[in-house]
Amino acid sequence: MREFVYASHPARIVFGSGRVAQVAAEVERLGLGRVLVLATDAQKDTAQAVADLLGPLCADTFAGAVMHTPVAVTEQAMDVVSAGRIDGIVAVGGGSTIGLGKAIALRTDLPQIVIPTTYAGSEVTSIIGETADGIKRTQTTPRVLPEVVIYDADLTLGLPTGLSVTSGINAIAHAVEALYAKDGNPIIDMMATEGIRAIASSLPSIVENPGDAAARTEAQYGAWLCGTCLGAVGMSLHHKLCHTLGGTFDLPHAETHTVVLPHALHYNAPAVPRAMAALARALGRQDPARALYDLAASLGAPLSLRDLGMPASGIDEAADLALANAYWNPRPLEREAIRDCIAAAWEGLPPGT
């Protein structure tokens, strides 16, 4: 048994179909009485439904969250927080809405109850990325960690199929990199393999029938486990590449993770035999990188960075940027091999071709 350090985050997890009905009780349990409900404009009806459940405990709603947590939007929300004498946050939505809640918590230390509706996993991490003047900066601080997470798969039934698939594979990416993290440990390995199994086995049923409540519940359980992995250990090449590609070429978050993952895993494979064996067991295939590519293809997910809008001229730039700021990776960073991976991802070829 290897030596390890394991630190768990102190969040309270409430899991199950219909559990959103418990939101008022959770607000009262935290001793709050004037919460602000956050959402995107697209989910304002969901925000209103949560506000209705909260009744007089809800002081206001703010349905202005957008991707990448722009500071300008946070400042608008902060005005509402001040004017409404808000004493807590209820964020209902995906990583974008949760990011806004974290940005408010960063400035105020207000308690947060999060009701996730995608599989991105931000609700169980102490990571926050904020964008100002076109640059996204990420920091890790326990100040932004939500106090309570309510996982109610009923709220994911309307998540469009395409986003369900890419969001699910985004979650799998957290667990894949956790399996070979420098600061990994056996507890996180268990969560990672179980999370990958749960998501990979439920996505085909979700694509076949988006209203399959059992499959949605299984995927959300997997998303919690995979998000916990992201929050617990360091990420490497895959996350670095996606962050760089997303920021440099303005590519969509979950789709970029979906396209890059098989290639980043193929690159690291020779250096991480233990992780590859665990992935082979979780995915039921001998070649996990190819298995992830085939999973995405079979579910109709995007396979190429070209289709996401990246220009061919960006391949070399991305390879240079991937090596720009030194970071730990299980396999040393080799420019030409990384360039080959990005080129294969750009073309949408299977990993290793």
Contacting positions for ligand NAD (CB under 6 A): 40, 42-43, 67-68, 93-97, 99, 117-118, 120-122, 125, 127-129, 155-156, 158-159, 163, 167, 230, 253-254
Residues 6 or more apart whose CB falls under 8 angstroms from that of 136 comprise 68, 129, 130, 243, 247
Closest residue (Cβ) to ligand NAD? Answer: 95
CA distance 74 to 72: 5
| Of 121 and 195, CB closest to ligand NAD | 121
Closest contact distance (angstroms) between CB of 206 and ligand NAD is 12
Closest contact distance (angstroms) between CB of 155 and ligand NAD is 6
User: Parallel, antiparallel, or unpaired for β 127-132 and 135-140?
Assistant: antiparallel
Q: Which residues pair with 46 in a beta bridge?
A: none
For Cα atoms 40, 119, 106, give the angle at the middle one, nearest 5 degrees.
55
Nearest to 264 by CA among 331, 309, 323, 183: 331
User: Parallel, antiparallel, or unpaired for β 58-65 and 112-116?
Assistant: unpaired
Closest contact distance (angstroms) between CB of 79 and ligand NAD is 22
Closest contact distance (angstroms) between CB of 332 and ligand NAD is 27
Closest contact distance (angstroms) between CB of 161 and ligand NAD is 11
CA distance 347 to 85: 52
Helix orientation angle between 161-179 and 237-249, rounded to the nearest 10 degrees: 140
| Of 120 and 259, CB closest to ligand NAD | 120
Do 114 and 101 form a contact (C-beta atoms < 8 A)?
yes
Closest contact distance (angstroms) between CB of 177 and ligand NAD is 13
Q: Which residue has the tokens 């709603």?
A: 61
Quote the distance between the C-alpha of residue 233 and its chain's center.
14
| Of 21 and 277, CB closest to ligand NAD | 21
In the chain, % helix, strand, coil (3-state, to 5) comes to 60, 15, 30
| Of 28 and 45, CB closest to ligand NAD | 45
| Of 35 and 39, CB closest to ligand NAD | 39
CA distance 97 to 63: 9
| Of 138 and 313, CB closest to ligand NAD | 138
Do 213 and 264 form a contact (C-beta atoms < 8 A)?
no
Return the structure tokens found at 47: 């925000």
| Of 43 and 193, CB closest to ligand NAD | 43
Closest contact distance (angstroms) between CB of 263 and ligand NAD is 20
| Of 149 and 159, CB closest to ligand NAD | 159
Closest contact distance (angstroms) between CB of 233 and ligand NAD is 13
